[in-house]
Structure 1
Amino acid sequence: YMHADNAVQRIAASQGGVVTRRQAINSGLSPNQIDGRVRTGRWRVVTSGGYRLFDMPGEFDLVKSATALLPRAFASHFSAAKIHGMTMLKGEPTSVIVHTRTTHTFPGVLVHRCHDLQPDHVTSVLGIPVTTIARTVVDVASSISPKHLEIVVDDNIAAQRVTHREIREVLDAVARKGKPGVRKLRSILDGREGVAIAPSTLEARGNKLLREAGIVTFLTEYAIPWDPLRRFDVAIPENRLAVEWDSRRWHMQAQAFASDRRRDREVVTNGWRILRFTWDDVHRQPQLVIDTVLAALAA
């Protein structure tokens, strides 16, 4: 039975330390052998037909365990956000969603149940069944403040992880009267529909960041001295310094990238300097933005 035990151990290692009874039997262990391992304490019963062979300390091992043992379970909510790299959502309990009307529990895991999880609302990341980013945004809408939700929506659209349309389609599919978070998220989407990256939002937040850092002498929408029909997002004329808040989606386009490089060369040849900051810079590294601008002003 050594071969069967080794096979079971390998399965458990890939599932956060757990196996199902069916997996153990398929690997060559008999029902009596399984029950004997439970009686001696080698295996611990976690769910009906599910056993923990050993604990694993990995970042996603607990959610792997839950999705392996619970029926039609997917990492969801804040766990899904972590798996997808949605850094604006973190620090919440391990969560899964189960597509069933039956109540389920799992040690150390918050189990959500639903009956509206559609096939295009789920995917797999790192071998873990997980809700899509669009579905994850919809699911967490009820758990965070409107301001936080607004940042989450803008950040993920800016990072091109998801589109307004994808979030809207999931929202429309699961929305029902009284469902928590629906009105909040719909209001945010209504204010951004058709906007590729919400550049005005990025500029407003970037400008606010400068003001909060005590940089108050700048001018916005400043006509470029050598090309008055075009404008800098921000300019500090006495220092001949310009700041541009770059929309990620727009500036990932090859044509726009080349245009920006030409514009930057013109800035240098006319005795100015230009700093460019992206959505990620403003939202994830605000201190870096401030320090860079202050260093340029001091130079």
Structure 2
Amino acid sequence: MRTPSRPAALVGQVFLGAGAVQAGLLTREQLRSSAWRRVLRGVYVDAALADHPEHRLRAVELLAPPTAVLAGRTAAWLHGVDTAWEEAHPVEVVVPPGARWGPVAGVRIRHARLAAGDVVRIGRRRVTSAVRTAADIARSGPPAETVPVLDPLLSRTGALVSDVWRAVGSGRGCADAREALTRVDQLAESPQESRVRLLLWAAGLRPVSQHVVVDAQGRFVARVDLAFPEQRVAVEYDGWWHAERGQFARDRRRLNALQAAGWRVLHVTAADLHDPTALIARLRALLAS
């Protein structure tokens, strides 16, 4: 089998396939070899590089007009919300009304007029501001989908709910957005914690987020995800990190300390989120006992 051609100018790069062929760096047959991986239509990356969001962003930049602005969940990721990025989710871009570009598979293109204050630079990229990003996400779907992104976005950027509320305005999606903004909690530390909190809210339960538990002498015991302090009941989400080496022993010591302080703990896993009725029943029984 012939070794695929790997010109030095393309090693470690994201590039336009047509440009590489026109420059004589590759033939069309060589472009289709295992040396290169297609990122978007007409855009390729060195296959030796591991998949990374930066490759898709660079691919979009090679195709998009210079007036394009990265937006939505893509912007949230650039603002520091790591959990906002999902491989199955398209890169989100806003272009001015009348701009002719697209459609492009893997890219969600929205035409809108952005005010000067709606656009910031993160590095060399044009990105919607934290407030504009939060408003767009809040309008994009039901609170169960948007709040787990809004919680860390507002926490990391310091954007104010009141400013986002004003930016939401009126029109399509504003009802979902306003409902989401009444449920955000910047203290949440993971998307799953946000989802658990939303389930409890939907059932009429109002836990306290990131509650600090102290013992009878006022000494720190633990900080719990969600708490009902009057009943001394904590709700903790157990994610994959609880299976890490040494974590089990730490979790057990922490649980023993909470129980010694008179607290009971309801542990929630991903499976519990698929049966919210049973989860709420277990919590209500614990609160009533």
The TM-score with structure 1 as length reference comes to 0.50
Counterpart contact for 2:138–2:177, Cα < 8 Å: yes
Amino acid at match of 1:99: V
Counterpart contact for 1:245–1:277, Cα < 8 Å: yes
- CA–CA distance in structure 2, aligned partners of residues 188 and 244 of structure 1: 20
1:150 equivalent to 2:164? Answer no
Counterpart contact for 1:42–1:53, Cα < 8 Å: no
Q: Structure 2 vs 1, CA of residues 17 and 244 (structure 1 numbering), >3 Å: closer, same or farther?
A: closer
Alignment match, 2:163: 166
Amino acid at match of 2:125: I
Amino acid at match of 1:17: F
Counterpart contact for 2:74–2:92, Cα < 8 Å: yes
Alignment match, 1:84: 79
- CA–CA distance in structure 1, aligned partners of residues 154 and 74 of structure 2: 19
Q: Structure 2 vs 1, CA of residues 291 and 43 (structure 1 numbering), >3 Å: closer, same or farther?
A: same
- CA–CA distance in structure 2, aligned partners of residues 129 and 290 of structure 1: 43
- CA–CA distance in structure 2, aligned partners of residues 291 and 124 of structure 1: 45
Counterpart contact for 2:138–2:180, Cα < 8 Å: no
Give the SS at the match of 1:66.
helix
Amino acid at match of 2:174: V
Alignment match, 1:183: 175
Higher percent of residues as helix: 1
Per-residue deviation, residues 87-134 of structure 1 (Å, max 9, x unmatched): 553434231313133452375422312122233222233543322332
Give the SS at the match of 1:85.
coil
Counterpart contact for 1:18–1:68, Cα < 8 Å: yes
> What's the offset of the Cα at 1:85?
3.0
1:245 equivalent to 2:191? Answer no
Alignment match, 1:252: none
Identical residues among aligned pairs (%): 18
- CA–CA distance in structure 1, aligned partners of residues 121 and 16 of structure 2: 19
Q: Structure 2 vs 1, CA of residues 157 and 140 (structure 1 numbering), >3 Å: closer, same or farther?
A: closer
Counterpart contact for 1:75–1:97, Cα < 8 Å: yes
- CA–CA distance in structure 2, aligned partners of residues 38 and 155 of structure 1: 44
Paired residue total: 213
Amino acid at match of 2:59: S
Give the SS at the match of 1:134.
helix
| Structure 2 counterpart of 1:105, from 102, 105, 109 | 102
- CA–CA distance in structure 1, aligned partners of residues 125 and 23 of structure 2: 28
Give the SS at the match of 2:84.
coil
- CA–CA distance in structure 2, aligned partners of residues 131 and 292 of structure 1: 44
The TM-score with structure 2 as length reference comes to 0.52
Q: Structure 2 vs 1, CA of residues 134 and 275 (structure 1 numbering), >3 Å: closer, same or farther?
A: farther
Alignment match, 2:15: 17
Q: Structure 2 vs 1, CA of residues 74 and 42 (structure 1 numbering), >3 Å: closer, same or farther?
A: farther
Counterpart contact for 1:98–1:112, Cα < 8 Å: yes
Amino acid at match of 1:93: H
Per-residue deviation, residues 55-110 of structure 1 (Å, max 9, x unmatched): 66432211222123311223322322333332553434231313133452375422
1:94 equivalent to 2:90? Answer yes
> What's the offset of the Cα at 1:296?
0.8
Amino acid at match of 2:211: W
Q: Structure 2 vs 1, CA of residues 145 and 118 (structure 1 numbering), >3 Å: closer, same or farther?
A: same
Alignment match, 1:123: 120
Counterpart contact for 1:102–1:113, Cα < 8 Å: no
| Structure 2 counterpart of 1:295, from 246, 249, 256 | 256
> What's the offset of the Cα at 1:198?
7.5
CA root-mean-square deviation: 4.9
